[in-house]
């Protein structure tokens, strides 16, 4: 799964990199090196100007809540456990299939975290888990494949500006050989040449899965980082710094 990631890019940089036409970011998010479920994150989507408009969809940058809340949900708490959608079932699972058909997005990240179970045991007799940060070799932006939904809160009035909740999930797949040694799942990435097709809400659903392929071997770098990232209250650039090499004995 993908349960934590880092996101420090400024919205104006994302607007340029992803060729966004409309930014709906009213208050820029602070750089976040420990993005956890239910936090606000940046997402790139394509939306028509309005339901009545015949104009083509426009690429937008928005702030979404991580943890997808389906439109039919009774309350938003369901999103707490819907942070990942498995590629193998995303087109059929009721919680995701409508979003997969029409509401796909890109979730920009610096990289993501996974925890490797070492042979060392804790005082409780469980394997000690070492966090790793996994990022593009070139330090570029990781465009994770995602889905988004718009949920109407039934407890809020029609004129309440917070009545609609925009939320998202990360699509995951089996990890490639090298990264599979750390964790068996990884987020799917969308290469720049496929952004247009992935975001297009009118694209034929039958060919969507062909756009999603695991990162090519060697595309990503993984290195151990401080266990401070295991506590969501910790947040700073030091969380993605490689641990110093141990001196040779």
Q: What pLDDT was estimated at residue 197?
A: 94
Within a domain: 247: no
The residue range of the domain holding 160 is 5-112+139-220
- CA atoms of 173 and 87, how far apart (whole Å): 6
Within a domain: 212: yes
CATH number of the domain enclosing 11: 3.90.1680.10
Within a domain: 36: yes
Among 46, 114, 149, 168, the active-site one is 114
Among 2, 46, 105, 168, the active-site one is 2
- CA atoms of 104 and 117, how far apart (whole Å): 33
Strands 22-23 and 58-66: parallel
What is the rounded average pLDDT of the residues 15-25? 97
Active site (annotated) includes residue 2 = yes
Q: What is the pLDDT of residues 174-222, one digit of tens each?
A: 887 667 677 788 899 999 999 999 999 988 887 887 887 776 777 889 9
Within a domain: 246: no
Q: How many domains does the chain have?
A: 1
Within a domain: 127: no
Please name the residue that has the structure tokens 């919680």.
95
Within a domain: 228: no
The whole model's pTM is what?
0.93
Please state the three-class secondary structure of the chain as a single string. Answer: CCCCEEECCCHHHHHHHCCCCEECCCCCCCCEEEECCCCEEEEEEEECCCCCCCCCCEEEEEEEEECCCCCCCCCHHHHHHCCEEECCCCCCCCCCHHHHHHCEEEEEECEEEEEEEEEEECCCCCEEEEEEEEEECCCCCEEEEEEEEEEECCCCCCCCCCCEEEEEEEEEEECCHHHHCCCCEEECECCHHHHHHHHCCCCCHHHHHHHCECCCCCCEEEEECCHHHHCCCCCCHHHHCCCCCCCCC
Within a domain: 35: yes
Q: What is the pLDDT of residues 59-95, one digit of tens each?
A: 999 999 999 999 999 999 999 999 999 999 999 999 9
Within a domain: 125: no
Q: What pLDDT was estimated at residue 248?
A: 47
């Amino acid at each position: 799964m993908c349960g934590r990631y880092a996101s420090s890019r400024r919205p104006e940089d994302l607007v340029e990199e992803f060729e966004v036409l409309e930014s709906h970011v009213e208050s820029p998010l602070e750089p976040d090196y420990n993005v956890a479920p239910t936090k606000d994150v940046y997402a790139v989507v394509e939306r028509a100007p309005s339901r009545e408009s015949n104009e083509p969809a426009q690429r937008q940058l928005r702030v979404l809540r991580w943890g997808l809340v389906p439109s039919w949900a009774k309350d938003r708490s369901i999103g707490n456990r819907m942070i990942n959608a498995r590629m193998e079932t995303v087109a059929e699972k009721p919680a995701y299939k409508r979003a997969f058909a029409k509401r796909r997005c890109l979730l920009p990240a610096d990289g993501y975290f996974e925890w490797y179970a070492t042979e060392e045991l804790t005082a409780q007799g469980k394997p000690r888990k070492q966090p790793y940060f996994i990022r593009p070799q070139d330090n570029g932006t990781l465009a994770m494949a995602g889905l988004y939904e718009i949920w109407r809160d039934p407890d809020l009035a029609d004129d309440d500006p917070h009545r609609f909740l925009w939320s998202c999930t990360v699509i995951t797949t089996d990890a490639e050989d090298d990264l599979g040694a750390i964790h068996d799942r990884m987020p799917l990435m969308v290469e720049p040449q496929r952004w247009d097709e992935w975001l297009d809400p009118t694209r034929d659903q039958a060919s969507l899965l062909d756009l999603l392929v695991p990162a090519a071997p060697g595309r990503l770098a993984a290195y151990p980082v401080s266990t401070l990232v295991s506590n969501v209250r910790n947040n700073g650039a030091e969380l993605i710094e490689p641990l110093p090499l141990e001196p040779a004995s």
